[in-house]
Amino acid sequence: MKHGFIRVAAIAPHIRLADCSYNADIIINIIDSAEQKEVGLLVFPELCVTGYTCGDLFLQDILLLRAMEQVKRIAAATVGKELVTVIGFPYERQGRLYNTAAVLHGGRILGLVPKQNIPNYCEFYELRYFAKGPQEVIKVDFMGEDVFFGSRMLFECSDMPDFVLGVEICEDLWVPISPGNSHCLAGATVIANLSASNEIIGKAEYRRELVKSQSKRLICGYVYADAGEGESTTDLVFSGHSLIAENGAILLESEPFHNDMIINDIDLGIIMSDRRRMNNDLGQDATDYIRVKYTLSEDDCKLKTYELIRRIDPSPFVPADSNELKERCNDIFTIQAMGLKARLNHVEAKCALIGVSGGLDSTLALLVTHRAFELLGIDKKGIMAVTMPCFGTSERTYNNALSLAKGLGATVIEIPIKDAVMQHFKDIGHGIDTHDITYENAQARERTQVLMDLANQHNGLMIGPGDMSELVLGWTTYNGDHMSMYGVNSSVPKTLIRSIVKWYADSTDNKELAEVLKDVLDTPVSPELLPPTKGNEYQRTEDYIGPYELHDFFIFYVLRYGFSPEKVYRLAKTAFEQKFKDEEILKWLQLFYRRFFSQQYKRSCLPDGPKVGSVSISPRGDLRMPSDAKAKLWLDELKGISL
């Protein structure tokens, strides 16, 4: 459970109605199995000790007594175990019966949480048996043991302060204002829901959306355990549809009518990061709440680092679902085009200037500009696509740049810059055969000068193609490709740019244009600033700074959630275990932090550009970072990692 992960499980055990000892045996066996799987929180359905559909049997003394006895027995079975178990049973106190959740750990009952919202309609007429539970927490004598009883109670793990458990029961989730709201306002990060929700047509989807939206709205983990086989089918059928959600995402759900245990890892770091970022009232201590604290283990409180069950997406910016990816690409492309349309309108630009290289970034910038001109209803000839070949320009990228520009109806301008750069080298006394940073950056700055001056000459706007991945790494020439009059790709990472260009190629009716776009996608990413080697090999950007898929992964977890270097490394190892060796990941992560900190000065003066996603590096709103910050803390943590 190191790095803020808590392994959770939900299950619908196959019970026998009113057979408390049998049900307790099943529950204890499941607890033993879950402990072996390193589960930290195990949630059962409501009234699972007796069964939910006992009906008037809930009015029988012997059933209530045996249920309490079995709760004590189940609690005793948790001695020496680290997991917290939540079970449901009917609890009688002072002549009233409560639909109650018992929270168990380390051989004791941490607390009894009664259901707050008692359904009184159709098939769920619980008011015949159960009373609304009190909110105020008091101590009660539960078969000789002092136990907390009441709704306003949270369970806090001393070894994992970010794991704070709140409990609600079935109907509590379905009402407009649930106890979960209060729990999360008081500091709960995970909500356990013990439920018995019958299955009818369309209800599974509604239930799924309800759990999903509750976890999103309350920025929490949500573990929903639904009753299944063993319940009476006189009028209702229960499918055991359990779900695990985290901050608006369904991590896992059971297949209806299978009664399987579902297990996944909730990342409390995501929850805490979003609460910090939103700076709302969630997570505030409430004076009227009782916080019951416990430790994972009396013998060994050291948090374990186990292999994660949850899938870590290696491409967090790129949806795995093809339909979702198409929708995202379309949305981002539209946002980019609408932003550029508004800027062109505002400055009354007569044209747009783009340096086209035949690479991914300038290709997307050209496509976005083309769409903006369509939205404005103006002649595409006003798009001036400028190609500026120099020492490292390859025939492949040169031809692709020309084909793209012509295929989109843009005005093509070719301005070779080799002579101008050589004159500049002569002016500053730099040798033409000295292929250093000056040699490379002089070309980038010359191209920017040409574009800026053309923009002035034609009363136009120079469009910047630089993407977010390059800007985070500082892989851009200061006042060269770093500068523009509007940067349409500035919040789009490289992996997503590739997806958008592919989406455009797949959706366009222009087959010739699609073929060129596919060749652009197949071309290795390169700045093309150095002449080819004897083997006719050109620069490959990823040979210098590492794979963009790794860096985009780092960007997401460092900037979106602020995770520690050690945790980012662990996540990357899990996500890329089949593709990169551990030492490769560590090497490029170290480079990432060094460049991210040292290159902030370039990001502090970025041009305007549209924000398209939750991660952005605009110095005006999203990444307000000093240019002089040191990377030492982050790099020192990585030094402690043993391969």
Q: Please classify residue 376 by burial: count the beta carbons closer than 10 Å to its beta carbon, then call 0-12 exposed, 13-18 middle and 19+ buried.
A: middle
* Phi/psi at 94 (5° precision): 50, 45
Question: How is residue 497 written in tokens?
Answer: 């740019």
CA distance 126 to 553: 49
CA distance 98 to 171: 14
Identity (one letter) of the amino acid at 587? K
Sign of CA dihedral 532, 536, 540, 543: negative
**Any idea how long the chain is?**
643
Q: Please classify residue 128 by burial: count the beta carbons closer than 10 Å to its beta carbon, then call 0-12 exposed, 13-18 middle and 19+ buried.
A: exposed
CA distance 144 to 641: 50
Q: How large is the C-alpha radius of gyration of the chain?
A: 30
CA distance 550 to 314: 8
Question: How is residue 302 written in tokens?
Answer: 């050291």
CB 242 within 8 A of CB 11: yes
**Which runs of consecutive H residues, i.e. helices, occur in 167-202?**
171-174, 179-185
* Phi/psi at 7 (5° precision): -85, 125
CB 248 within 8 A of CB 257: no
Residues 6+ apart with CB under 8 A from 449: none
Q: Please classify residue 319 by burial: count the beta carbons closer than 10 Å to its beta carbon, then call 0-12 exposed, 13-18 middle and 19+ buried.
A: middle
User: Looking at the annotation, which residues are catalytic?
Assistant: 46, 115, 170
CA distance 338 to 382: 17
CA distance 83 to 28: 12
Identity (one letter) of the amino acid at 362? S
Question: How is residue 304 written in tokens?
Answer: 């374990």
